[in-house]
Structure 1
């Protein structure tokens, strides 16, 4: 079982590289049991999406505010 520290590292790394099957399974299993790491992963995805949209010059939608 992965620790929260390991999962937060993988949450960041999965944005830059493909995780191995073992890493993906361990990561998902941990997220099913840990609300804090699930929130962290969702926040990482939100920030990546927001920064990508910002770099393209897109403005936030009304419902995003």
Structure 2
């Protein structure tokens, strides 16, 4: 099972590249149980989308 440090690393990595099936499953499992990492995921997703809009890339 992933800890929060590994989860945040994978969430950041996921913004730039595809993760393996195993990593995606482990990530989803951790996110189901950890509200702190769910909040972090929402925040980096918002920042990533804002940066894409600002740079003109959709």
Give TM class, smaller chain: over 0.9
- Scaled by the length of structure 1, the TM-score of the pair is 0.83
Q: Rg bigger for which structure?
A: 1
1:24-63 mapped onto 2 (5 Å cutoff): 24-56=24-56
Shift >6 Å, 4+ stretches: none
Q: State the shift of 1:16 in Å.
A: 1.0
**Greater RCO structure (CA 8 Å; 6+ sep):** 2
- For structure 1, which runs of at least 5 residues remain unmatched after alignment? 57-65
